[in-house]
Amino acid sequence: MSAPANRLATRNLTLGYDHRQVVRDLEVEIPDRSFTVIIGANGCGKSTLLRALARVLRPTSGTVLLDGKEIGAHPSRHVARTVGLLPQSPITPDGITVAELVGRGRFPHQGALRRETPQDRAVVERCLAETALTDLGQRPVSSLSGGQRQRAWIATALAQDTELLLLDEPTTYLDLMHQIEVLDLCARLHAAGRTVVAVLHDLNQAARYASHLIVLREGEVIAEGAPDAVITAELVGRAFGLRARIIPDPETGRPLVIPLPSQVTAK
């Protein structure tokens, strides 16, 4: 087993639920300081992989390595201070306010009995500001729109203040403007030196923002690397069963995926 070059990597990773395998023999590395985007069809194992990378799901076999050591062998608080996760469908407690929710992201930085420190409060304020929620801090989360709620959860993951941040579909429920805002926020975090891993469904956003792409199909990596090299019409066909034309984005030069109508293939 070769030593990984990056902080977060997997070796022969097999994942599943109750004996049903979802991911087989996966070898991926999350390049340090990258903005890695994972794409793939519904049910192909993206969330499952993210769970394992955040030490939430124990591997059936194989390992997830954090800093060269099996992730489960690190103290759980150390992992929680290093790798943050925004789950795909977290639970919002009844009656919780936005600021309180974001404050719960500080858990790994607090002692068992200690109350919030001024530093905790400063981080919460900063995360609220970064997600444009400062004015909504005292509102119950249940009274927010779906997009505002999603931003509150992103702020909670940010408050964990980790060098590696795993975001499972952070742009779901958001209108286009807020999708771009969240992706710009990820890009800023990336530019500031953090490693960001996000699951996205919009291929064009993935191509535009990612520094590194991982394409999954039925639990296997079918392509990885820079978006320019990875996104081809052939790959889109293999990953999603979709006919597409790829043209350079006139704005950025990155690949732009134009889906083609499917009935044309019928002949």
Ligand X SMILES: Nc1ncnc2c1ncn2[C@@H]1O[C@H](COP(=O)(O)OP(=O)(O)OP(=O)(O)O)[C@@H](O)[C@H]1O
Q: Which residues lie near other proteins (CB under 8 A)?
A: 51, 54-56, 76-77, 79-81, 83-85, 87, 89-97, 100-101, 104-105, 107-108, 110, 112, 138-139, 143, 156, 160
Span interacting with Mg ion, options 46-54, 89-97, 144-152, 246-254, rule CB under 5 A: 46-54
Q: Which of the listed partners (ligand X, Mg ion, other proteins, none) does 105 bind, with a CB threshold of 5 to 8 Å by partner kind?
A: other proteins
Residues 36, 48, 171, 179: which binds ligand X (CB under 6 A)? 48
Return the bridge partners of 192, or none: none
Cα–Cα distance measured from residue 6 to residue 163, given in angstroms and rounded to the nearest whole number: 13
Residues 10, 34, 36, 47: which binds Mg ion (CB under 5 A)? 47
Q: Say how far residue 250 (Cα) sits from the centre of its chain.
A: 27
Min. distance of Cβ 12 from ligand X in angstroms? Answer: 18
Residues 10, 34, 47, 148: which binds ligand X (CB under 6 A)? 47
φ/ψ region of 266 (left if φ > 0, alpha if ψ in -120 to 50, else beta) reads alpha
Min. distance of Cβ 93 from ligand X in angstroms? Answer: 21
Min. distance of Cβ 90 from other proteins in angstroms? Answer: 5
Secondary structure E strands in 90-219: 164-168, 195-199, 212-217
Min. distance of Cβ 179 from ligand X in angstroms? Answer: 16
In the bound state with other proteins, the residue whose beta carbon lies nearer, of 22 and 83, is 83
Cα–Cα distance measured from residue 105 to residue 90, given in angstroms and rounded to the nearest whole number: 13
Residues 44, 206, 230, 244: which binds ligand X (CB under 6 A)? 44
Q: Kindly report the length of the chain.
A: 267
Whole-Å CA distances, 136 to 86, 100, 121, 165, 173: 20, 11, 15, 24, 18
Residues of span 84-113 touching ligand X by CB under 6 A: 88
Cα–Cα distance measured from residue 91 to residue 233, given in angstroms and rounded to the nearest whole number: 38
Report if residue 172 touches Mg ion, rule: CB under 5 A. no
Structure tokens at 18: 């109750």
Q: Which of the listed partners (ligand X, Mg ion, other proteins, none) does 110 bind, with a CB threshold of 5 to 8 Å by partner kind?
A: other proteins
Report if residue 131 touches ligand X, rule: CB under 6 A. no
Cα–Cα distance measured from residue 173 to residue 186, given in angstroms and rounded to the nearest whole number: 17
In the bound state with Mg ion, the residue whose beta carbon lies nearer, of 47 and 162, is 47
Q: Which of the listed partners (ligand X, other proteins, Mg ion, none) does 118 bind, with a CB threshold of 5 to 8 Å by partner kind?
A: none
Contacts of residue 244, defined as CB under 8 A and 6 or more positions apart, other chains included, come to 233, 236, 237, 257, 258, 259, 260
Report if residue 88 touches Mg ion, rule: CB under 5 A. yes
For the chain, the distance separating the N- and C-terminal CA atoms, rounded to the nearest angstrom, is 48
Report if residue 17 touches ligand X, rule: CB under 6 A. yes
Which residues sit at the interface with ligand X, rule CB under 6 A? 17, 22, 40, 42-48, 88
